Structure 1
Amino acid sequence: MPRMPDLPVNHYRGRDGASLVYRDLGDGRPVVLIHGFFSTAYVNWIRYGHAKLLADSGFRVIMPDLRAHGGSDKTHDPQHYPRDVLADDAFGLIEQLGLTDYDLGGYSLGARTTVRMLVRGAQPGRAVVAGMGLGGITEVEKRNEFFARVFDGLGTHQRGSEEWRSEAFMHTTGGDPVPLRLVLETSVGATVDELAGITTPTLVVMGDDDRGHGSGAELADAMPLAKFVEVPGNHMSAVTDPALGIAMRDFLVR
Structure 2
Amino acid sequence: MTAKKWDFSSFDGVSLKIHEMGEGRPVILLHGLFSNADTNWIKFGHAGALANAGFRVIMPDLRAHGESEAPHDPASYPDDVLVQDALALIAHLQLTDYDLGGFSLGARTTARLLVTGATPTKAILAGMGLQGLAGWERRQKFFQEAIRIRDTAKRGDPHWMAIQFMKSQKIDPASASLLLATFSDMDPAEAASIETETLVLCGSEDRDNGDPEELAAILLNGHHVAIPGTHMSSVTKAEMSQEMVRFLVG
Length-normalised TM-score, structure 2: 0.97
- 1:183-230 deviations in whole A, cap 9, x for unaligned? 111112311111111000000011111122111011111111000011
Q: Which residue of 2 aligns with 1:44?
A: 40
What are structure 1's unaligned runs of at least 5 residues?
none
Question: Does 2:131 correspond to 1:135?
Answer: yes
Alignment partner for residue 118 of structure 1, among 114, 119, 123?
114
- The 1-side partners of 2:234 and 2:197 are apart by 22
Matches of 1:176 and 1:7, distance apart in 2: 24
Q: Distance in 2 between matches of 1:155 and 1:209?
A: 29
> Displaced runs of 4+ in structure 1, greater than 3 A?
none
Q: Is the 8 A contact 2:2 2:21 kept in 1?
A: no
Distance (Å, rounded) in 1 between the aligned partners of 2:44 and 2:157:
25
Count matched residues. 250
* Correspondences of 1:50-199 after superposition (within 5 Å): 50-199=46-195
Superposed CA deviations along residues 131-151 of structure 1, whole A, max 9, x for unmatched, are 111001011111222102211
Q: How far apart, CA to CA, are the structure 2 residues paired with 1:189 and 1:131?
A: 17
Query: Are 2:242 and 1:246 aligned?
Result: yes
The alpha carbon displacement at 1:8 in A equals 3.0
Q: In structure 2, what residue type is equivalent to 1:15?
A: F
Distance 1:206 1:140, change over 3 A: same
Distance 1:37 1:178 in 2: 14
- Offset from partner CA, 1:56-82 (integer Å, 9 cap, x none): 001000000000001111011111001
Q: 1:160, 1:126 → 2: CA distance? A: 40
Matched, 1:209 2:209: no
Q: 2:130 & 2:63 partners in 1: Cα distance?
A: 24
Does residue 225 of structure 1 match 2:221? yes
Q: Is contact 2:25–2:55 with CA below 8 Å preserved after alignment?
A: yes
Between the aligned residues of both structures, percent identity stands at 48
Quick one: structure 1 residues 231 and 162, their matched pair in 2 at CA, closer, same or farther if it must change by over 3 Å? farther
1:33 match: secondary structure = strand
Letter of the structure 2 residue corresponding to residue 114 of structure 1: T
Give the superposed CA RMSD.
Answer: 1.2
State the Cα distance separating 1:160 from its structure 2 match.
Answer: 4.4
Name the TM-score, length of structure 1 as normaliser: 0.95
- Structure 2 gaps of 5+ residues are none
Deviation at 1:6, TM superposition (A): 5.9
Task: Answer yes or no: is the 8 Å Cα contact 1:220–1:227 preserved in 2.
Answer: yes
Letter in 1 for 2:122: R
